Structure 1
Amino acid sequence: MEKYGRKKTFGACVILTAAFIFIQFFARTLPVLLVGELLGGLVLGTYATIAPTYASEASPIALRGVLTSYINLSFVMGQLIANGVIAGTSQLSDHWAYSGPFASQWIWCLVILVGWPFAPESPWFLIRKGRFDEAENALRHLASKKVDVKPAMAMMIETDRLEQELEAGTTYFDCFQKINRRRTEIAMGVYSIQVISGIYLVGYATYFFTLAGLPTDKAFDMSIGFLALGFVGTLCSWVLLQKFGRRTIYNTGLAALVVLLLVIGILDCVPGYTENAPLIWSDATRNFENEQNADLVLCS
């Protein structure tokens, strides 16, 4: 991304995603499917890096919080659409029951690749590479015709110069020195908590609801519903970010997650849990709430 730019790297990753979907689509054995999933997962990780970087560098400051949180909304919408497709193909008895959802991913690769040529490169990246004319053209592409991009260009060039002076002679080891250690710990902790909270297991939500005791058809309905709630939670974060700030809703969301996850764990240990329908639905409903709180945390 730092060598070839955000736009080229993103385009290459979309093409790789489309290629690896072929492996998943035509897989007829578990080992082949596993290889396709692993390769696709490697590329998927790049989107979590490229998207927020590009969004923060190409958007105005006023929209930066909304657009970076929109990345999480895109993940939620993708999972919601995927679960809807899976619910529709779950009644099939041939390979299309699982190949169909894989094939539906090609649609979004095509949509992205059609619009990709019209997206400008990050002006910050171009300035770092000394390509000032291209950076000015990118800024003009991002701004309205009434905006004079010259002052913005001057500010960005000066900012880049100061950053290069500050970074001169530094290494990654400096991140762990005493003066920078707290900032490094916070940054690493925020990213780590997103993973260890279990939010990325939502791809197996239907299976979880089935293990929790719900009938298969209800488990599919619940998996669609709780992602819809995550969609609402992301939209709520846009308002909460402006009113309460990132730190407040992040800590509040994590505290709510702790309580909900403890309640879910306790309910699972109740004797006769699998024969108690109210407990099963109560557990699933708390996962509904868990998803909304998780999305508020991720968006902060």
Structure 2
Amino acid sequence: MPLQKSPTGTWLPARVPQSTITLAILLVLCSMVQSTTGGYDGSMLNGLNILPPYTDYFNLNAATTGLNTASVFIGGFFGPMAAGVMADKFGRRIAIFWGCIITIVGVILQTAAQNIAMFVVARVFIGFGTAVDGIAAGVYLSETFPSRWRAWGVGLFNDFYYVGALIAAGITLGTGKWQSTWAWRAPSLFQGIFSIMCIMILPFVPESPRWLIHEGYYEEARTVVAQTNADGNPSDPVVLTVYKEILDTLEWEKKEGRTMSPKEIIKTPVARKRLLIGMSAGPFSCVVGNIIASYYLTYELDTAGVTDSTDQLKANVVLNVWCLGCALAGTHLVANWGRKGTALLSQTLLVICLFIIGGLSKKYADNPNAASNSLIYGNVAVMFLFQGFYSIAWTPLLYLYPPEVMNYSIRANGLAFSQFMLNALAVLLVFVEPIGIVNIGWKMYMVNASWDIIIIVLIAVYWVETKGRTLEEIDAIFEGQKHSTVPDVEAVRKGEATVNLAELEKEVAATALIVEK
């Protein structure tokens, strides 16, 4: 397929396919291959925590197991502090590139680790790198995908967490019989392949059109809008409508004195409202209870009565297949039913599952020797249901919802803050929860279910629905009006509204001059 030059405004050039559909596939692949790193990491640690060659080599106990695992979130804690600024200053693609490079460095150090300190430092690098490229990719996809495909495009970005998890589960199952340190070093080394693949795809996808316009590259941005919406036709009505909508909105933000400073996220009441609603997806997804099965499946299965290491590794593989299917189904719901409704459904199901798991785990703990197979298998089944219900909403929404709710001037830093809060909580929970499971057992599930009820209330009261709107049209929910005179993009695309192309061309030229000044 012929490639068309796509101006990027950066040192990293791009030549993209002329077909919009082919380009959309590349956009998804670019961001998804690096998102698999996070899923691979969680599933790999699940497997390694079961393998004697890993636990014996580092002589792990509950505290050091938590440290080895949670250290990736230490990097994820600091990564967002740089991610938003990097994505705004250097471009979305450049931020993704450097995030991948840092991740690769961490993977090499992790594979070569000689002690706990080296392993922890390596995982800090991995956490930092994946935070940077994950945040940049979330913003990049939301700003580059056409509104009709945004839910699927950005939702699939995080759905591939489970593809990485499935690959890691299969690899650790395969190396689990090895008696050397390569039982855990080989899975560690393979983790870097996804970042390498992402770097290879970057030259074939364009820069964000919104970033280009903000940086003064107007014709370049129009070229990208044409490439991503109409097979490269810059005079298509949808292309002109999208382009004009972005220009008008950036002009309004400029008149309002909006800047790209991180302080912008708390500067005005509306900005604070958008931040609190948008960033809530990160912390909410972290505290609902999935941390246990994502990183400590062995502890969870132990409480249910499944104690054989081979059976646990097989359960890890099956779990990730199940979660991938649920995530894909959830992305369909998010795209067609809406973000808020899907989140409420998923969260309600999670609360029910946690109470059931807690009850069944208590029954097993009261008399393990007399526990029937039906009790054990029933508990495991509900654990699997829980992870599937989590995947329905939180997997696609984690990177989809925050960029939609936040306007351009706070989008990158706002998503970074969401991830910062997620990782801050994860550092605590990943370290504390195995200790909690060991000490209070089934009660940990009851505690988790109780605070999940509060999350349901917060979503029901404060979340807004963003389905079917462009990023600029979402402004009307928070600002009271859309800051552009053109009809809604989807109305133009569906033929429900028309635009005067000659007049729109004149308006585009005039608006570009105003924004440039």
TM-score of the superposed pair, with normalisation by structure 2: 0.54
Q: In the aligned structure 2, how far is the partner of 1:62 from the partner of 1:286?
A: 35
Residues 140-289 of structure 1: matches in 2 within 5 Å?
Answer: 140-143=226-229, 144-146=231-233, 148=235, 149-168=239-258, 171-174=264-267, 177=269, 183-212=274-303, 213-214=305-306, 215-270=308-363, 271-273=366-368, 276=371, 277-289=373-385
Report deviation, 1:63. 0.3
- The residue aligned with 1:290 is 386
Cα contact 1:209–1:219 (8 A) shared by 2: no
Match of 2:210 among 124, 129, 150: 124
Instruction: Name the CA shift for 1:255/1:210 in 2 (closer, same or farther; >3 Å).
Output: closer
- The residue aligned with 1:81 is 167
Cα contact 2:169–2:317 (8 A) shared by 1: yes
Counterpart residue type for residue 266 of structure 2: F
Counterpart residue type for residue 343 of structure 2: Y
Instruction: Name the CA shift for 1:205/1:281 in 2 (closer, same or farther; >3 Å).
Output: farther
| Partner deviation per Cα, 1:37-71 (whole Å, 9 max, x = no partner) | 12211222223322221111110000001111112
Counterpart residue type for residue 15 of structure 1: I
Q: In the aligned structure 2, how far is the partner of 1:274 from the partner of 1:118?
A: 59
> Looking at both structures, which has the greater relative contact order when contacts are Cα pairs under 8 Å and sequence separation is at least 6?
2
| Partner deviation per Cα, 1:150-188 (whole Å, 9 max, x = no partner) | 45333321221112333548844345x4x6665444334
Work out whether 1:9 is the aligned partner of 2:9: no
Work out whether 1:139 is the aligned partner of 2:225: yes
Q: In the aligned structure 2, how far is the partner of 1:202 from the partner of 1:119?
A: 35
- The residue aligned with 1:110 is 196
- The residue aligned with 2:143 is 57
Deviates further, 3-12 or 211-220: 211-220
Instruction: Name the CA shift for 1:141/1:187 in 2 (closer, same or farther; >3 Å).
Output: closer
| Partner deviation per Cα, 1:224-258 (whole Å, 9 max, x = no partner) | 11111111111112332244221111011101101
Counterpart residue type for residue 256 of structure 1: L
Aligned partner of residue 89 in structure 2, secondary structure = coil
Instruction: Name the CA shift for 1:265/1:134 in 2 (closer, same or farther; >3 Å).
Output: same
Match of 2:132 among 46, 64, 67: 46
Instruction: Name the CA shift for 1:265/1:89 in 2 (closer, same or farther; >3 Å).
Output: same
- The residue aligned with 1:95 is 181
Instruction: Name the CA shift for 1:50/1:35 in 2 (closer, same or farther; >3 Å).
Output: same
Report deviation, 1:92. 0.6
| Partner deviation per Cα, 1:206-226 (whole Å, 9 max, x = no partner) | 423552332111111111111
Q: In the aligned structure 2, how far is the partner of 1:167 from the partner of 1:216?
A: 59
Query: Cα RMSD over matched residues?
Result: 2.2
Q: In the aligned structure 2, how far is the partner of 1:233 from the partner of 1:294?
A: 9
Instruction: Name the CA shift for 1:115/1:187 in 2 (closer, same or farther; >3 Å).
Output: closer
Instruction: Name the CA shift for 1:32/1:210 in 2 (closer, same or farther; >3 Å).
Output: farther
Report deviation, 1:284. 1.6
| Partner deviation per Cα, 1:89-109 (whole Å, 9 max, x = no partner) | 111110111011111122222
Q: Which runs of no fewer than 5 residues in structure 1 stay unpaired? A: none
Q: In the aligned structure 1, how far is the partner of 2:346 from the partner of 2:112?
A: 41
| Partner deviation per Cα, 1:241-280 (whole Å, 9 max, x = no partner) | 2442211110111011011011112222111246523322
Aligned partner of residue 3 in structure 1, secondary structure = helix
Instruction: Name the CA shift for 1:203/1:241 in 2 (closer, same or farther; >3 Å).
Output: closer
- Number of residue pairs matched by the alignment: 298
Aligned partner of residue 191 in structure 2, secondary structure = helix
Instruction: Name the CA shift for 1:223/1:209 in 2 (closer, same or farther; >3 Å).
Output: farther
Q: In the aligned structure 2, how far is the partner of 1:95 from the partner of 1:68?
A: 37
Q: Which runs of no fewer than 5 residues in structure 2 stay unpaired? A: 1-86, 398-517
Instruction: Name the CA shift for 1:166/1:131 in 2 (closer, same or farther; >3 Å).
Output: same
Q: In the aligned structure 2, how far is the partner of 1:88 from the partner of 1:247?
A: 40
Give 1 or 2 for the bigger CA radius of gyration: 2
The structure whose residues are more often helix, as a share, is 1
Q: In the aligned structure 2, how far is the partner of 1:275 from the partner of 1:61?
A: 56
Instruction: Name the CA shift for 1:220/1:274 in 2 (closer, same or farther; >3 Å).
Output: farther
Aligned partner of residue 160 in structure 2, secondary structure = helix
Counterpart residue type for residue 229 of structure 1: W
TM-score of the superposed pair, with normalisation by structure 1: 0.90
